[in-house]
Amino acid sequence: MNQSVIKALSLLDYFTEEKPELSLKEITELVQLPKPTVYRLLSSLEYCGFLTKTKDFEYDKRYKLGLKLLELGQLVSEQLELRKVTLPLMKKLANEINEVVHLVIVNNNEAVYIEKVESTHALRLYTRIGKRSPLYLGSGPKLLFAFLPEEKRDEILSNLNHHQCNEERLKKEVEEIQQNGYAISYGEQDEGTIGISFPIFDYYGKVIASLAVSGPSYRFEGNHLHVIKESTKKIAENISSELGYR
């Protein structure tokens, strides 16, 4: 573990409702470390937006918590609320189609799997909550990519490894996803599998997540494939409705 990072972050614990603002002298006394060390740690936290300096005189430097913490807290709050709303409906979908169901969001230009409900089949796909994936790989990530603002998509495309991703093919797939309202992928993350994803909208009509269903391709055939599509679409719409989308 990086002890400097741990020491720096531990300083945030000294800011409380009763003491929302602390001086360099007060923090130094609380942590019992050399003043230059504490100042260096505080400067790093300030640089990253975790602290804001309220006074910067030679003999009186004071700090309070920065807006970066509010931003991160809001992100966590949104994810918790999203998972709280979606999990019961994801379980309902998994019971209906008996395939693994994922909830996928965008974070730092990657797709992140933040919730999962398993099927009861002996043969299952191995995935885990917290898994990250490029936005060009798999139905859930690609659906999210397709509904990003155009300038954001262009920014991500400009940084792609073109040996791993065909940019022109991805652009064509984006158009198809936008027209069809869902994404489908064949063996992109695991050979011999299919993934189908539908968008989840928030109150403002923004796509904030994808509801993704996946499994071995031999189970996604004929009428069962039709049932999977219709059931996933319906549950995605129900989740969006729960989040206030009309």
Domain range annotation of the chain: 3-65, 75-242
- State the CATH architecture for 75-242: 2-Layer Sandwich (3.30)
The domain 3-65 is placed in CATH, from the list 1.10.10.10, 1.10.150.120, 2.40.30.10, 3.40.640.10, at: 1.10.10.10
Helix axes 139-146 and 167-180, enclosed angle (nearest 10)? 80
Amino acid at 25: K
Give the pLDDT confidence of 210-241 residue by residue, as tens digits.
Answer: 999 998 888 888 888 999 999 999 999 999 99
Instruction: Kindly report, residue by residue over 76-119, the tens digit of the pLDDT.
Output: 666 777 888 899 999 999 999 999 999 999 988 899 998 999 88
C-alpha to C-alpha distance for 203 and 240, rounded to whole angstroms? 8
Decide if 3-65 and 75-242 have a common fold.
no
